[in-house]
Structure 1
Amino acid sequence: MMLGFIYQFLHSSFLWFWMKWFLRQVTGKCELQRICHGYQPGAARTSRIENSLKSSKNKVLQDAVNVQEDAVESCVTHIMKEKQIKEQKDPKFKVNLRQCLVQISGYNALFLSVEEQRKEVFDSDNEAHEKMLLKLWDLLMPSVELESRITKQWGNIGFQGDDPKTDFRGMGMLGLVNLVFFSEKYTATARHVLSHANHPSLGYSYAIVGINLTEMAYSLLRSGALKPHFYNTVAGKPHIDHFHQLYCYLAYEFDKFWVEEKPASIMEFNIYREKFHDKVKGFLLEPEVSLVLKIESKNCPDD
């Protein structure tokens, strides 16, 4: 069995090498050129460029998948030199490859930004952190005044205890920033979702579920599963607000999913969380995937 596997690997590698050589002779273009000219901008092109670079035996091409944003231009030049591509003969290649590398390097940089925010611990002595937490309350409960900073009232927006800071341990400030971003960008929609979360029979812990969805978004980003989404929706370098926007999509879509599924109780949360997670991962396998919340800011969706 092992010998069969080795034979199949060597056979397929050998055939692929000669197939690429044959295509280069026939078309006069290397694999990178064929991808840049044969596919539309977005995941269709950038993912293939990334895979081609990763599988290359040329170190210049291999290193390109980890290029820093400020080194993209020189990286493109080095690749063209290695592959003996003349800009005068193929000017579009340089433009297309640069865009792909900007997206690839941008995704790597986005993860570092998200990771930095995740590692930032909520600090009650940090005035900015406290203001953000109180802002979340004001956005979601504008007509109700907090009795005190530590109070059971936090349960009304889905925190577990009297002091929400304990719920941010897993996702750090990233969890809070996502909750505030959704509530500020789509205020009426967030309140609408909160009303579902407070339903007497179908309710769930709004803030805790929100932090859980932040963990979902983070794990998808870390694994690289979100690359097709960002490659399709952001033509250049994605910024952290693009990640927060993805969270808004997850928060809204999970609420719809939960209400439609009608779980027997909150005790089944993990089951439906995984079902929703699988649904999202399925979307991310689609070539044209774009997980964008299609609701105008400040407007509430119809029931």
Structure 2
Amino acid sequence: MKHFLRVVTQFFVFLYCKCLWRGLKFVIRKVTGRCELQRICHNNKPGARRTLKIESSLRYSKNELCQSALSAHPDRVEKTIDDIMTLKKVNPDTNPQLGISLQASLFQIVGYRSLVSEVEKLRREPYDCENPDHEEMLMKLWKTLRPDSPLTGRISKQWCEIGFQGNDPKTDFRGMGLLGLHNLLKMSKAEWEQKNFDKAIGYSFAIVGINITDLAYSLLVSGALKTHLYNVAPEMPSLSHFQQTFCYLMQEFHRFWIEEDPCDIMEFNRVRSKFHRRVLRQLKNPDMALCPHFAASDLHLVNL
């Protein structure tokens, strides 16, 4: 009985707070002459600080049009913005900046959702040694990292030289699928000396790259990367932005590994978990950009 009364009390407190909040928003609009979306755009600079608040406002709106805006197709974003401004009784002629700001943020929101789907599709596609495209990417990875050392065979101990765990690399891609291979190939093309990774104690490029791919993937699907991507992608975050982030995480993890100075590879999980927590703390800052000094287009990578 006590439990029932507590649940009922909590329910009515929730309803009271909800009504109070809506009433407060109504009063604020009457006083300021601006709806909540207008206030967000006016009081917050472009980027994650603004887009995260717009995303929250739309998600918790009582209006289905606002809620559905979060899942709008990119081609429908402009029409969706027009509908929202009509709903909010905002004149686009006297308030042109609101439409521009909402459009930029909504492109980021729907772009992030599309990026999650694209990355998930790559992750779910297993490496297939019978697929010539997959094999071509794998051979390209070897030639990029060991241009002066031809492979003696498709199944070879040489794969261990670049950090795979066995004679056939396909077994290491089981967790991250083609996403792991795509990221390794992108990283191998970046302006970063792969040999630096080999200098770390018990540290191998390929298997660590797949592991950091898993870390980047978890940050993406959990929504933690919204802060970073909303700050570095002016419109729709793309796969290039994700791969840029992966390359950054690889470089930072290498530095972090050296700083931690672990005794051996058995400490890898501890160091990785500590690094993961540090990145999560950084991403809680709405002004954070993990790699703020260059955009995805500035990363010197060769297209697949």
Structure 1 residue 15 displacement after superposition: 2.5
* SS of 1:66 mapped into structure 2: coil
Which of 194, 197, 214 matches 1:194? 197
Structure 1 residue 143 displacement after superposition: 2.6
Structure 1 residue 249 displacement after superposition: 0.6
Pick closer, same or farther for the CA change 1:16–1:47 going to 2, 3 Å.
Answer: same
The amino acid that maps onto 1:254 is F
After superposing the two structures, state which structure 1 stretch, 12-21 or 43-52, moved more.
12-21
Pick closer, same or farther for the CA change 1:190–1:68 going to 2, 3 Å.
Answer: farther
The amino acid that maps onto 2:183 is N
Pick closer, same or farther for the CA change 1:181–1:293 going to 2, 3 Å.
Answer: farther
CA deviation string 1:103-130 (max 9, x = no partner): 1111111111111211222111222211
Residue 58 of structure 1 aligns with which residue?
63
Structure 1 residue 153 displacement after superposition: 1.1
2-structure distance, mates of 1:226, 1:134: 31
1-structure distance, mates of 2:17, 2:263: 51
Structure 1 residue 241 displacement after superposition: 1.0
Alpha carbons 2:187, 2:247 under 8 Å: kept: yes
Residue 273 of structure 2 aligns with which residue?
274
Alpha carbons 1:249, 1:293 under 8 Å: kept: no
- TM-score norm. by structure 1 comes to 0.91
For structure 2, which runs of at least 5 residues remain unmatched after alignment? 1-5
2-structure distance, mates of 1:105, 1:293: 22
Pick closer, same or farther for the CA change 1:267–1:165 going to 2, 3 Å.
Answer: same
Alpha carbons 1:182, 1:190 under 8 Å: kept: no
Counting only pairs closer than 5 Å after superposition, residues 224-263 of structure 1 correspond to structure 2 as 224-263=223-262
Alpha carbons 2:194, 2:205 under 8 Å: kept: no
Q: Does 1:205 align with 2:194?
A: no
2-structure distance, mates of 1:293, 1:177: 23
Alpha carbons 1:106, 1:237 under 8 Å: kept: yes
Alpha carbons 2:70, 2:109 under 8 Å: kept: yes
Counting only pairs closer than 5 Å after superposition, residues 9-158 of structure 1 correspond to structure 2 as 9-158=14-163
1-structure distance, mates of 2:292, 2:78: 33
2-structure distance, mates of 1:145, 1:2: 69
User: Aligned pair count?
Assistant: 293
Structure 1 residue 176 displacement after superposition: 0.5
2-structure distance, mates of 1:35, 1:78: 18
After superposing the two structures, state which structure 1 stretch, 20-29 or 115-124, moved more.
115-124
Residue 161 of structure 1 aligns with which residue?
166
Runs ≥4 residues deviating over 6 A: none
- TM-score norm. by structure 2 comes to 0.91
1-structure distance, mates of 2:299, 2:58: 39
2-structure distance, mates of 1:27, 1:179: 52
Pick closer, same or farther for the CA change 1:174–1:293 going to 2, 3 Å.
Answer: farther
Structure 1 residue 206 displacement after superposition: 2.1
2-structure distance, mates of 1:192, 1:72: 45
Alpha carbons 1:159, 1:167 under 8 Å: kept: yes
Residue 301 of structure 1 aligns with which residue?
none
The amino acid that maps onto 2:130 is D
* SS of 1:175 mapped into structure 2: helix
Identity of aligned residues (%): 47
Alpha carbons 2:198, 2:205 under 8 Å: kept: no
For structure 1, which runs of at least 5 residues remain unmatched after alignment? 299-303
Residue 189 of structure 2 aligns with which residue?
184
